[in-house]
Amino acid sequence: MLERTLSIIKPDAVQKRVIGEILRRFEAAGLRIAAAKMLRLSPDTAARFYAVHRERPFYQDLVRFMSSGPVLVAVLEGENAIARNREIMGPTDSTKAPKGTIRGDFGTDVEKNAVHGSDGPDTAKWEIAFFFSESEIC
């Protein structure tokens, strides 16, 4: 099924200058970059994006981390894009992510994990609309 998913290249990966390498991996995996922009999230925007986690103990740290530097947000499109992206990212905790996955190669720990990807079709829809208008998606 042709799907779209939201990707965020997080501040840790931007600072490591691996945006190009991560985008290359998306494309090599058959995902098309349908939209992309660089942003510095305000704490308020990061808090709204991650509102589903607001009761979690890591929420405040996560909001601080995500607003600590620029990010690149992108819409990826392809067959089973949501699951495909999750495979190439690897598990949330970078210390448990195999080498060869984006988090295994570029993440540091469970918070500084290089990339975000939508976890299902409903979230993908919501997350894409959070950052992009229809006219910005090619």
Give whichever of 67 and 92 is closer to ligand CMP, judged by the CB atom. Answer: 92
Name the catalytic one among 71, 72, 116, 124: 116
Inter-residue contact 75 to 6 (CB < 8 Å): yes
Smallest distance from ligand CMP to CB 110, Å? 4
Q: Would you count residue 110 as binding ligand CMP (CB under 6 A)?
A: yes
Residues counted in the chain: 138
Which one of 22-30, 40-48, 75-83, 105-113 is the stretch in contact with ligand CMP (CB under 6 A)? Answer: 105-113
116 is catalytic: yes
- CA 6/CA 123 separation, integer angstroms: 9
- CA 76/CA 28 separation, integer angstroms: 12
Active site residues: 116
